[in-house]
Structure 1
Amino acid sequence: MDFIIFIKFGLVGFTGLVIDFCITWFCKEKLRLNKYVANSLGFSFAVVNNYILNRYFTFHNNDSHVASQFLSFLIISVIGLTLNTILLYLLQKNTKINFYACKVIVTIIVVVWNFTANTLYTFKL
């Protein structure tokens, strides 16, 4: 595995994290949506951002099958969202840790899943 690719994936992930947290915060605090719905919306906006940036910036991928590649990325992301939501729920339910601190912890765990699956399957390095 190329260390530079991991660093780029991390940078892209950071932009996704900012988008995720901003959308989550806005939906939860300003729109008063359920915190798990807000979390799902934030995560979804981040997925689109991350696919585009990872395709062109991280993996320099020119696969002409963009739709199937995005579907693969989306499936991996939905699995990541499921892990994210379940782990967030369990951590919130079983600790007194702040919601956003829990979200940071869970995000770190889900990054490992996303990087591994997308490196091996979506972008096939």
Structure 2
Amino acid sequence: MATTTASNPSLTEKLRGLSGEAVKFGLVGLSGVVVNFAVFWVCINGLHLASLRSNIAATLVAIATNYLGYRYWLYRDRDAASRKREITLFLLFSGAGMLIETGVLGVSVYALGLDSHVEQLAAKVGGLALGTVFRFVSYRTWVFKAVPEPVAEAPAAVPAPAAGVVAQAELVLAAEQIRLAKAE
């Protein structure tokens, strides 16, 4: 089977592609962070909800907006054959990321007693950073899987003993074509 440079990129090309993907992931994630923090702030200050409830509500809204960015912009060229599987895995890994984020906030508020709005936002930033690393790895690995590149069919190898027979048959065919061409 023959390999080409396109199907077997160098380490530099892989890192360049990964860094571009990470930048786009960051842009979609940044829009989700803006949504997340805006909803969190409204829930805490406007609706006077507890910090963990506010965090869960904010993260759920951000998850919904991020899915649209990931599916239709960042990973639009990835395999979308099974949307049900994709959405299920996206929600599963997003939920795990939300648990990471909420866990950091919960430890900060309830175990460490850091409950001012500024301290809660700082804990939210830390939890969001940990959750984001987890999401990036899981989304690109399991949720938005790359479409496999088509493999070029290699010509079938002819066993050594049969190679002589094949060469002889080709000579016979060539001679026959010449004979037919002269007869016409």
Q: Which structure's residues are more often helix, by fraction?
A: 1
Q: Distance in 2 between matches of 1:55 and 1:65?
A: 12
Q: Which structure's CA Rg is the greater one?
A: 2
Q: Which amino acid aligns with 2:128?
A: T
**Aligned partner of 1:123 among 129, 139, 144:** 144
Q: Distance in 2 between matches of 1:78 and 1:35?
A: 17
What pairs with 1:57-72 in structure 2 (closer than 5 Å)?
57-60=73-76, 61=78, 63-72=80-89
- 2:38 is aligned to 22
TM-score by length of 2: 0.64
Instruction: Give 1:94 shift.
Output: 2.1
- 1:102 is aligned to 123
> What secondary structure, in the 3-state scheme, does the structure 2 residue paired with 1:98 have?
helix
Instruction: Give 1:16 shift.
Output: 0.4
> What secondary structure, in the 3-state scheme, does the structure 1 residue paired with 2:81 have?
coil
Deviates more, 1:55-64 or 1:105-114: 55-64
Q: Which amino acid aligns with 1:122?
A: V
Structure 2: runs of 5+ lacking an equivalent: 1-14, 147-184
The count of aligned residue pairs is 125
Q: Distance in 1 between matches of 2:79 and 2:32?
A: 21
> What secondary structure, in the 3-state scheme, does the structure 1 residue paired with 2:145 have?
coil
Instruction: Kindly report the root-mean-square deviation, in angstroms, between the aligned alpha carbons of the 2 structures.
Output: 1.5
Q: Distance in 2 between matches of 1:52 and 1:73?
A: 11
Distance 1:95 1:4, change over 3 A: farther
Contact 2:28 2:70 in 1 (8 A): yes
Instruction: Give 1:13 shift.
Output: 0.4
**2:94 is the counterpart of 1:77:** yes
